[in-house]
Amino acid sequence: MIKFIFKAILRDKNRSILPVMVVAIGVFLTIALSGYLTGMLGDIVDQTARFQTGHVKVMSRAYAQNIDQLPNDLALLGIDKVHQELENDFPDYTWVNRINFGGIIDAPGSNDKSKGQGPAMGMAIELFSESSGEVGRLNLTNSLIDGKVPEKSGEVLIGYEFAKKLKVKVGDELTYMGNTMNGSMTFAKFIVSGTVRFGVASMDKGTIIIDFTDAQQILDMANGAGEILGFYKDEVFIQEQTEQMCDVFNAKYAQDPDEFAPIMKALGEQNSMGTYLNLVNSVSSMFVIVFIMVMSVVLWNTGLIGGLRRYQEFGIRLGLGEAKGHIYKTMIYEAVIIGTIGSIIGTALGIGVTLLMQKYGIDISGMMKDATMMMPTMLKSKFSLHLLYIGFIPGLFAMVIGNMLSGIGIYKRETATLFKELEV
Amino acid sequence: MQDKIIVTENLVKRYPVGDGQFTALSNINLTFEKGEFSGVIGPSGSGKTTLLNIIGSLDSPTEGVVNVMGHNISTLTHKEAAQLRNMHIGFIFQVYNLLPVYTVFENVEFALILQKRNATERKKEVMQALEWVGLENMANKKPSKLSGGEGQRVAIARAMVKRPQLVLADEPTANLDAKNAHSILQTMKKLNQELNTTFLFSTHDQKVMEYLNRLITLEDGKVASDILKVGNGSPTEEKNAQIKTAQ
């Protein structure tokens, strides 16, 4: 019987091509859009993790309470000991030191006049430690517009828009003016080693990057760091795992009354990222539910039209002695076959487009010129294993449900009435 | 002709029409024996098709008893009725009603697939049935490539391939020219005689009536006459018709 159904599907284009196309298009759209959403939303999470939050972050309690002000006067001290503890307790993570600081940058020109000046947002990272992986994590080498990543103390990397504004180029000198963690003024001279495009408009326009040890020295933060970021070694963020880690780490210091005792926060607990992560999950789920509903209605209608066209066939089959239930069952088999073919085609197309979008992406830097939000300027899709079933299963179900609904018409009509359709 | 294959007792069929009811069949008492070549005749709306549908287990009586091959139609479930049609009843329709996506062979084979017969047996039986109707060379053609006469022959082969005890033919010659109609009727008559299959027609075609052994006339849902002919029913041998029953 299955062979017989297959023959009919292959030969009757109205029965196969239209539903297969509808399913394939629906599945394709689901996968392509889901991949795009995952990519876009994931990029924002990933970008935030790499530049700001890590997968987890360790700070002093006081620093954590005033984190919006980047209060280096409340920084974590005695970080050697904290590192030791983190590396022992959580060996699957890479732990890196960061200091975020602010200040004024002056680009000295000729005749003791400045070429340019401006407020700077400084990031101090472990540039010279290969094990930290920071250069790769922030994709600095590939993001260079000019010059190179700092290789020795006293060198600075600067956002390319910022460099334009200051009218500096590689090899030029910059003066940093700010204050130490103790509140006294500090000055430091740096040589521009390179200009970089972060891909985040706000950073391109005002960020400098120096080595962590340089920052410790300038800001008077010996054995101190504003933040210690932890990254899972595969660089994949796993929300539940980070939450468990935080519980374990924080439980150790729960009884410590020191306001400078370390505290660990997961990505989801920082920068309102928890809400954002929940939103990402909700949007994905809603997307799938809406798809199933819309596709079911579309395929129900397709099934109804097909069913009406096939009343003659049903009448003949009843006359030949096929039971209504068997006709209904064969309709479902057909739906499974057509749904599977359509879903395979749609999945293949959807994943193909997702992979292309993952590789090439869409450059929106032109639109982000004046943006001050931390947003990626390259929109890319992201392939993940769930794309293999996120469209396939709903595609199959929608087709089957659509046919089940339209097939109910067979039961509602009297056998003799269906048979009478033969006279039409 | 010994076994009673169809017995109707006080058969009544009513359909709801608006607030009232329309009586399509009224107090029908008929008996058909195995091997009969009979026909129900009468004007449109006289109840011919309704009677055939009830005998074919596609519909059920409102009152009375219809017994087909020992099965009381009123008490059959949908599944049992389908099983009865599948195993024992063949249908031939006015407009052939072949499944257009299948070949001639597959159209005939479908009836045997429903009986879950194996492929070797199916092939043998289908070719035999196509031979009966002279279409063994057209097995691979699609219905759209057939003439009207050929299409109806395929329909006969499809009805006969499972060697049913009863064939119900609803206006089988209505869309055929005289030559094809005679040819089809001769084929059916031959199968009736060779396989002892009971044929029951619904018709108002004079050509069909000439071939029938028994003519039952329905008027307004009632049996107006029931005439049994003497002879084998072919036009040349039709003679000495006598009234067997009239209600």
How does pLDDT run along chain A (424 residues), one tens digit per residue? 777 777 887 787 777 788 888 889 888 988 888 888 777 777 777 878 888 889 999 999 999 999 888 899 999 999 999 999 999 999 999 999 999 999 999 999 887 788 899 999 999 999 998 888 898 888 888 888 899 999 999 999 999 999 999 999 999 999 999 999 998 999 999 999 999 988 777 888 899 999 999 999 999 999 999 999 999 887 667 778 888 999 999 999 989 999 999 999 998 888 667 777 777 777 777 776 777 677 777 777 766 676 667 777 787 888 888 888 888 888 888 888 888 999 999 999 999 999 998 888 777 766 655 554 445 667 778 787 878 887 888 788 877 887 787 777 766 666 666 566 555 4
What whole-number distance in Å separates Cα of residue A344 and Cα of residue A338? 10
Q: Which of A392-406, B113-127, B149-163 is least confident?
A: A392-406
Residue in A12, A319, A325 closest to B101 by CB:
A12
Q: Provide the pLDDT for residue A208.
A: 95
The yes-or-no verdict on residue B151 having pLDDT over 90 is no
Best residue of B97, B112, B168 to probe chain A, by most A CBs closer than 10 Å: B97
The SS3 of residue B140 is coil
The 10 Å Cβ neighbour count of residue A331 is 22
Query: Is the CB of B89 inside 8 Å of chain A's CB atoms?
Result: yes
Q: Which amino acid is at B184?
A: I
Residues in B 184-213 with any Cβ partner in A closer than 8 A: none
In chain B, whose CA is at the least distance from the CA of A313? B99
Average pLDDT estimate for B50-77: 91
The reported pLDDT for the residue numbered A415 is 62
Torsion of CA A318, A320, A323, A326, to 10 degrees: -100
Q: In the prediction, which pLDDT does A7 show?
A: 80
CA distance B239 to chain A (A): 34
Residues B158-206 have pLDDT tens digits of 988 888 899 998 888 877 788 878 888 888 888 888 888 899 999 888 8
Q: Provide the pLDDT for residue B210.
A: 85
CB contact under 8 A, B101 and A8: yes
CB contact under 8 A, A423 and B89: no
Q: How far is CA A234 from the centre of its chain?
A: 15
Tell me the residue range of the domain where B179 lies.
4-245
pLDDT of residue A267: 86
Distance CA A387, CA A31 (A): 6
pLDDT higher than threshold 50 for residue B1? no
Nearest CA to A224 out of A97, A126, A82, A79 is that of A79
The β-bridge relationship of strands B4-17 and B63-68 is antiparallel
| pLDDT for the residue numbered B239 | 38
CATH number, domain at B131? 3.40.50.300
Residue of B95, B98, B114 lying closest to A321 (CB–CB): B114
Number of domains forming the structure of chain B = 1
Which amino acid makes up residue B45?
G
- pLDDT of B243 strictly over 70: no
More confident call, A268 vs B240: A268
Nearest residue to A204 (alpha-carbon basis) of A376, A379, A53: A376
B97 → closest Cβ in A8, A312, A322: A312
- Which of A10, A320, A411 best probes binding to B when mutated, by most B CB atoms within 10 angstroms? A320
